[in-house]
Every structure is written in structure tokens, then in C-alpha cells.
Copies of this chain bind each other. A is one copy, B any other.
Amino acid sequence: MYGYFNGTILPVDQISFGVTDLGLLRGFGLFDYFRTYNGRPFQWDWYWGRFANSAVKMHLTVPVQKDEAYRIVMKLIEKSDMPEVGVRFVLTGGYSPDSISVTRPNLLMMTEELHPSPSNQYEEGIKVILDEYVREMAEVKSTDYKRVILLAQAIRSARASDVLYQKNGEISELSRSNFFIFKGDRLLTPNRHILHGITRRTIMHLAQNDFKVEECPVLLSDLYDADEAFTTSSTKKVLPITQVGDLTIADGRPGERTRYLLQEFEELARNW
């Protein structure tokens, strides 16, 4: 795997951050992550747009323009010599003279091995546990994932795969992916306190041909009469959720409409 760090391309294991980086010392960093299909960055325009928007909201200047970033990404993909890869961008507040003042941001772009969800999760659906929490600045893809890392043991103990955040009964998102439910042919997804996922956006586009897609508050109480539930992310694609805490969604089997959307998504990806 290869990475680009502040102007230089190197094997990933030869890249490192100095100890005064504000991402490291002060958690002042943001990132983005996408993957390739057919060796090309999937939904590049949307990912770049989101990354640039996160940077604006964190008052950081991205040191490369979109076209240059694309050329670098294609070079990294080519050098990595794998059929498909993940690509991670990390932008931090840079090296600080006093451990707090932002100077020149550090930009890392690197390829990563993919970690797809195991196939049995698609066949059986996953369980998630609930947590009363809402991410700060949820629309910014900041590097702050303390919450889910601290919940890792609780997730394992519950034989669950992830956590579903809710606050005052309103559902927002999973730790690193978005949330959808079907009620009949209505497809509902939370409209706020979320990261605007690119796979979420892709699925909303694909789904609108066949279903009534609504971005709206989704409450815990909505789970009781949901017919299907699933989560979306670049690595999970469209992954059925069959249990939320102690509650089984419908009959506890992945739903037909969810399976259909996964097929639609995979077809789009296949032809990317």
C-alpha cells in the first residue's frame, strides 16, 4: 500500500507523523474514506465534496486541488497493485509550535486493504446495541471515534456488530454508517445529527425509482412496526439489521427490499 504525505509518495509503512501534529496531540483532524470499483474511485465527486466541506467546517485549508488529488489517488491505486483498495484521506491541524495553534495542515492520502463485512452478515443480518449519544458536529467527518472504541467490549459481550446512536428516542446513525428502515414501501432515514454518507446518498437515489424515500426524524418507537432495517457505508454497502438491542426487527430475517437495494447497489458498482 502507498501513501502521499505532504508532497511525497512512499510505501505506507515509511510514512510517519511528527509528535507535534495536532491530530495526534489535540484530536484536531478529519478524514474521509472511499473505495474503488474496477480500480476507479467510487463516487469520487461526492467524496471529494464531503472532504472539502469537512475541511471548511474545521477551518482547515486542503493543500491540494481536486484535480491534483485525483491524479495522486490514481497513482496510489496504480502503485498499490491490488484489484480493489480503500483510500483514506487524513487532514490534521499540522505541526504546532505550542501544541495548540494551527499552522499548516498535514495531508495524508493512502490506500488500504479492504475489510468487507463477512458474507454471513448479509445472509443473517446484524445485531446492534443502543447508545444514548449524538456525535458533536456530526456532519463533519472528524477523527473522533472515542465513543465506539470504548463500547467495543459491550458490543462484543452482546454478540452485536455495532452500536446505533439515539438521543431522547431519536435515532441518528451507527458508529460509522447510516441507518434506514422500511415501512411497507416507505424508506425512512434520519435527517439530522448524522454524517451525510455517500453510500446513503447513493441508495436514496437508487431507491427513489421504487420506493417513497423520506429523510425525517426516525424514532426508537418506529422500530416496533418497521418491516426491515439496514445500514449503509462504503464497506458495508447495504447490510441488513435484524436486531436492535433486545428488539427483533419484524421476523428477524433480512428483508426482501433490503436485498433488492443491495443488488441495485452492486450493479451500479459493477458498472462503475
Contact = CB atoms under 8 A, between A and B. Distances in A.
Given A18-B16, A101-B152, A152-B101, A146 B110 contact: no
Contacts of A147: 136
Contacts of A64: none
A36 to B, nearest CB: 17
A46 interface: no
Interface string A234-265: 00000000000000000000000000000000
B145 A28 contact: yes
Interface stretch (A19-27, A69-77, A118-126, A213-221): A19-27
A270 interface: no
B17 A146 contact: no
A149 B28 contact: yes
Nearest to A19: B15
Interface-central residue, A13, A19, A29, A93, by most chain B CB under 10 Å: A19
Interface string A43-74: 00000000000000011000000000000000
B19 A110 contact: yes
Interface residues of A, number: 48
A267 interface: no
How many copies, total? 2
Nearest to A18: B16
B92 A145 contact: no
A24 B21 contact: yes
A181 interface: no
A42 interface: no
Contact of A29 (B24, B31, B88, B137): B24
Nearest to A112: B99
Contact of A102 (B93, B136, B143, B149): B149
A21 to B, nearest CB: 7
A138 interface: no
Contacts of A59: 150, 153
A53 to B, nearest CB: 15
Nearest to A23: B24
A205 interface: no
Given A15-B19, A16-B17, A112-B99, A27 B145 contact: yes
9 contacts: A15-B19, A16-B18, A16-B19, A22-B149, A27-B145, A58-B150, A93-B149, A100-B148, A136-B136
Interface of A: 3, 5, 12-13, 15-19, 21-29, 31, 58-59, 88, 90, 92-93, 98-102, 108, 110, 112, 115, 136-137, 142-150, 152-153, 176
